[in-house]
Amino acid sequence: MRPLLVALLGYTLLFTACKRESEKCEINPEVAKVAAPVQLERLEQPFFKIRNEADAKQFLKQHSLFADQFLQRRQYPSEAILANTLTRLATNAGLQKLARETETEFKDTNKLQGELKQFFQHVRYYFPSFRVPPVKTFISGLSQDMFVNDSLMVVGLDFFVGPKASYRPNVPDYILRRYTPAHLMPTAALAVSSKYNQHQLTNQTMLGEMVQYGKSLYFAEKTLPCTPDSVLMGYTAKELEGLEFNEGKVWAHFIEKNLLYNTAPFTIQKYVGERPNVPEIDKTCPGRVGAWIGWQIVRKYMTEHPNVTLAQLMAEKNPQCILSESHYRPRKKS
């Protein structure tokens, strides 16, 4: 098998990839008409003004929804204990340094608000009943990158500062590279997709997991149309180029090894879960390759069914239906 991390692809492949990216970036003018007001509040700013327990209690009082849902106030034996915890964090020198670095990276609130607005406009374009939640940014102390439900979104900005940060999430390098400013909105989109991504709850197969991830990535693709595939997937450009070139060979591995209907959780995780690579296919094959193949299946399904809406796709629970009707059969390249 030709190595997946090809150093240089042919002109045709590169031209096709560039063409697809430029096409994806043509925003539907109808989306711009969709009302999606964003209430964005930078909570890290009042948080780091906390100096004592009384300040912390005042912060909790002023931001009660945030305290209840993100800080999970009710899990603490008393509000005084939570207030003391917040005071220790707010006055921690290391966290204050990280906060300053975060402020430098995300100083332009209008830029972030604009990105959120365009994302929410796309979500509401496809799902008109979607209610835009208020958005709070915070310095979580690298405890949670993203929180979202119907009534609140919290973005842990300190996760997304990037390589220049003094402190970074304690995760392997192949995951760490997904914590940069460019990956903030894809993380949000994938989180929001879970609200609509219906799937079978029992007898989950490899195919089911692949298509479920594929639907989430397709949701992100449609709601963030100017974001490159590599950023949506969290791959390097070389990894993505390698997969695109070897797509037929990767798919053949799933077929030849009879993996699609495998129900063993450990086996499924080897192909869709977090790993630096998937040596079962090739030592240079990136982790989560099953999710990427699932994305290609979903894309082919939607190409074959142009009248199917994003909402209908996300509501489809039958992965076999999506695979069969996609006519997905990538060819091996010599």
Q: What digits encode the pLDDT tens for the residues 271-285?
A: 999 999 999 999 999
Identify the pLDDT of residue 11.
32
Cα separation, 4 vs 11, in Å, equals: 17
Asked if the model's pLDDT at residue 10 lies above 60, the reply is: no
Cα separation, 33 vs 41, in Å, equals: 24
Identify the pLDDT of residue 334.
62
Asked if the model's pLDDT at residue 127 lies above 90, the reply is: yes
Q: What b/e sequence results for 152-170 when a residue is b if at least 16 CB atoms lie within 10 Å of its CB, and e otherwise?
A: bbbbbbbbbbbeebeebbe
Report the Cα–Cα distance between both ends of the chain, in Å, rounded: 9
pTM of the model: 0.92
User: 197 and 291 in contact (C-beta within 8 Å)?
Assistant: no
Average pLDDT over residues 181-195: 98
Pairing of strands 40-42, 135-138: parallel
pLDDT band per the 50, 70, 90 thresholds, residue 24: low
Asked if the model's pLDDT at residue 8 lies above 50, the reply is: no
Average pLDDT over residues 231-247: 97
Identify the pLDDT of residue 203.
82
pLDDT band per the 50, 70, 90 thresholds, residue 330: very high
pLDDT tens digits, residue range 246-302? 999 999 999 999 999 999 999 999 999 999 999 999 999 999 999 999 999 999 999
Cα separation, 311 vs 314, in Å, equals: 5
